[in-house]
């Protein structure tokens, strides 16, 4: 007898499912423990991008961290050169929208290496993934993102995070602590901090938006397009972001450092008038 069950797929379709031995992760998601132990489940979940079953890995990055697992399959992760869990760039550790903004500008400049636009529809995405897998088998290149060597890549290197950011692996907030009812104390596996503002755009993040590089609040904040807390409260004070200044290629020169005990120079006054010029000439 054959397989039994509800909605069992044919063997020809199962051959396209992924069965990997190790995930494609960044150093920040792996954690600071070099002896991390992983649980592997073949076809344990569907990819959040292409909805195909793939091998799921689950692990705990640290002692006070939460359990993490892979969210997207390796095919989708390789097409955008991102981590399977945090969906950030593996080379620069930046959001996809920030990276693609710099690489798109570099591609317009004539270097030929721009951003890769993955189709959103099912049929076009399947065709694109097949072409990408064929390119991997023939050329051996992971993606075109590693080939960028122009001004966009140098700007991304300046924005890239030098060390892994392990605070992303912290546990979720304790809802009982927010209500003042948690009695576990230090033994509570959740984080004892008050939740952030509901109107904060960083509290509303989506895996698909981060993967496709659209409407990502973290990228909008880095590029200088996201609303700040002062603007949400009614104040319209703005300060240029580092990523926005690097993207535009314009930066104001910093004033020279003052020696200890020295007074700052006075600002330039109004232009002299005719009367003031006549008084100076009469004194001289």
Domain residue ranges of the chain, discontinuous segments joined by +: 11-159
- Whether the pLDDT of residue 146 is over 60: the answer is no
pTM: 0.67
Percent of all residues in the chain with a pLDDT value above 70, rounded to a whole number: 65
Q: How high is the pLDDT of residue 110?
A: 47
The tokens 């904060």 sit on which residue?
A: 200
More confident residue, 279 or 44: 44
Which residues pair with residue 45 across a beta bridge?
54
Which residues pair with residue 39 across a beta bridge?
58
- Whether the pLDDT of residue 269 is over 70: the answer is no
Q: How far apart are CA 100 and CA 225, in angstroms?
A: 15
For the chain, what is the mean pLDDT?
75
Edge-to-edge, what's the strand order for the sheet holding 68-69? 38-46, 53-59, 68-69
- Whether the pLDDT of residue 274 is over 50: the answer is yes
Q: How far apart are CA 232 and CA 243, in angstroms?
A: 21
Region of poorest pLDDT, from 105-119, 145-159, 169-183: 105-119
Q: How high is the pLDDT of residue 244?
A: 58
Q: How high is the pLDDT of residue 249?
A: 55
- Whether the pLDDT of residue 134 is over 70: the answer is yes
């Amino acid at each position: 007898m054959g397989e039994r069950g509800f909605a069992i797929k044919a063997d020809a379709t199962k051959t396209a499912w992924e069965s990997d031995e190790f995930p494609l992760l960044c150093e920040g998601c792996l954690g600071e423990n070099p002896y991390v132990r992983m649980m592997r489940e073949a076809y344990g979940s569907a990819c959040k991008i292409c909805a195909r079953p793939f091998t799921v890995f689950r692990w705990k990055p640290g002692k006070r961290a939460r359990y993490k697992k892979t969210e997207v399959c390796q095919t989708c992760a390789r097409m955008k050169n991102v981590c399977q869990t945090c969906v950030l760039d593996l080379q620069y550790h930046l959001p996809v929208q920030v990276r693609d903004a710099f690489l798109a500008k570099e591609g317009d400049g004539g270097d030929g290496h721009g951003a890769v636009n993955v189709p959103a529809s099912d049929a076009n995405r399947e065709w694109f993934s097949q072409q990408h897998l064929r390119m991997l088998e023939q050329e051996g290149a992971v993606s075109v993102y590693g080939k960028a060597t122009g001004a966009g890549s140098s700007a991304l290197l300046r924005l890239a995070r030098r060390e892994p950011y392990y605070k992303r692996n912290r546990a979720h907030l304790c809802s009982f602590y927010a209500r003042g009812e948690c009695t576990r104390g230090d033994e509570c596996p959740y984080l004892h901090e008050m939740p952030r503002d509901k109107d904060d755009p960083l509290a509303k993040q989506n895996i698909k938006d981060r993967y496709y590089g659209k409407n990502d609040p973290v990228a909008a904040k880095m590029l200088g397009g996201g609303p700040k807390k002062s603007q949400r409260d009614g104040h319209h004070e703005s300060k240029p972001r580092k990523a926005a200044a690097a993207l535009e290629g314009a930066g104001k020169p910093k004033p020279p450092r003052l020696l200890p005990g020295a007074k700052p120079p006075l600002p330039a006054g109004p232009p002299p008038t005719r009367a003031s010029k006549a008084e100076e000439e009469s004194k001289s």
